[in-house]
Structure 1
Amino acid sequence: MKKRVLHYFITASLIVGLFVSCSTQKEALDISTEEKAVFDSQEEDAVEIKDDETEYEIIIIEPGFNAWLQSIARPEGYYTQSFLENRNQIMVINWNQRVIQPQRFNPNLYELQINYDPHIDYGYEVNYKLYNYFIYFQRKYNQRLGPFIPRI
């Protein structure tokens, strides 16, 4: 009798485990046809991210990013600077960890480390565009650079 109860318990546990594992899989992103068209764009234009007051600058050369930034991303002013700084700090840490692990993460996606110091005020524009690049990158390449689902 004990063996039969144990057998049913193990079978029930496996079924529940299978159900839970299926329901906790990575959530699929809802990407519109407009966004897909931007992702498929091969138009290469550099986006220069800089703040004239702080003299910090990033240049992103990614096909479609500028079009995505202009047409899909939330407008400047939508997020607070502290929100952007907090999210950027998390995503930079994850990005840099992936750069130093090319055997585990695609080295064609994660080529260079990002030198982002959370104690430096880079200004709103730098943080806004860096944050949006991370969102664009995660959505386009189906990556996750933190615990948050990359939503627009």
Structure 2
Amino acid sequence: MGRRDPGRLVAVAVAAVFLLVGILGFVPGVTTGELAFAGHGSEAMLFGVFAVSVLHNLVHLALGAVGLALAASERGARVFLVGGAAIYLALWLYGVLGPADVVPINDADNWLHLFLAAGMAGLAFLVGTPRRSTNTPMHPTEGGER
């Protein structure tokens, strides 16, 4: 990954944060309360603020792993950021409009999901589309003339 691959670098950083949060969700002290597998049965709170469960933590770990895998290419990194934005927008809508039966979601989670959706979409926009190879001429001439 070189200096000219900002999309890949950003995707790796975002994916690493998801992996870290997924791990911290299992660490006693960082996560307080009784950690259930899924649903409202989980009383666990990450940092004392965000509702989590085993399933919630596994989703963070999976998203981080997918992000690292997709960051192997500039296009994959952009797909991860745009796809992650869409997923978090859907989670925000799910938390606001629907009953959060499968994954525990509270108001702090809803705000975080909205922030993540906007942040990942913004990062995807900022890093732009993948660049052309430097071996491809920008303005090919007709008939091979230079």
Would the TM-score normalized by the shorter structure come out above 0.5?
no
Q: Which structure: greater helix fraction?
A: 2
TM-score, normalising length from structure 1? 0.31
Structure having the higher Rg: 1
TM-score, normalising length from structure 2? 0.32
